[in-house]
Chains A and B, each alone.
Chain A
Amino acid sequence: AQSVTQPDIHITVSEGASLELRCNYSYGATPYLFWYVQSPGQGLQLLLKYFSGDTLVQGIKGFEAEFKRSQSSFNLRKPSVHWSDAAEYFCAVGARTGKLIFGQGTTLQVKP
């Protein structure tokens, strides 16, 4: 069955520190992977996506993610976190017909 797991429900980092959010997926075919961010009371905004090619993808707001097929992972990283990055982050795999399968989400708290 197709699924996405985000092992960390809640992460707290200090401003300026590096960040890595974990995502593991289970999908039978070549996965199409996404990271979305949701600020409180808002909709979801796409950070980055992986379809094929280079396994290290760059996104908006200084985020990047690396696709590792051998580990079924698509972890999100940022070298230096800003207070405005506090939000909830969702990893998703794209299935056919426009459907998205989401992980449970990771809430990021940034300490000053």
Chain B
Amino acid sequence: NAGVTQTPKFQVLKTGQSMTLQCAQDMNHEYMSWYRQDPGMGLRLIHYSVGAGITDQGEVPNGYNVSRSTTEDFPLRLLSAAPSQTSVYFCASSDDSYTEAFFGQGTRLTVV
């Protein structure tokens, strides 16, 4: 059972580079979200989607873009990487507003 798959697991970027973090789920979930995890701050919501073609900003959206062209995929784009974006990124999906969210294994991103 694949669940929520994130790629890559690790990435090092130089300041100013762009990249896309991939997230795919095979559970036909409508709701998908991106979080970043930083020490002592828990997980903070970057962007979320309630279905294909619908996205919205979370708590910390600056510097990130998302799109949702299919139910399965929810990529996160860093337009111009900054050291402040060094973090662990988690993608999550759920089939309802208030049911369990399933998380991917995370992407550890370092911006130098």
Contacts and interface: CB of A to CB of B under 8 A. Distances in A.
Nearest to A6: B42
B15 to A, nearest CB: 26
B44 A100 contact: no
Contacts, number: 66
A70 interface: no
A61 to B, nearest CB: 15
Contacts of B42: 4, 6, 90, 102-105
A100 B98 CA distance: 9
Interface residues of B, number: 28
A97 B33 CA distance: 10
Interface string B72-104: 000000000000000000101010111011011
Interface residues of A, number: 26
B31 A100 contact: no
Nearest to B91: A43
Contacts of B58: 99
Contacts of A9: 40
A104 B42 CA distance: 4
Contacts of B106: 42-43
Nearest to A52: B98
A4 B30 CA distance: 25
Interface in B18-54: 30-33, 35, 40-45, 48, 50
A110 B45 CA distance: 30
Contact of B43 (A6, A95, A96, A102): A102
B43 A99 contact: no
B105 interface: yes
A104 B31 CA distance: 23
B60 to A, nearest CB: 12
Contacts of A99: 33, 45, 48, 58
Interface of A: 4, 6, 9, 32, 34, 36, 42-46, 49, 51, 90, 94-105
Interface of B: 4, 30-33, 35, 40-45, 48, 50, 56, 58, 90, 92, 94, 96-98, 100-101, 103-106
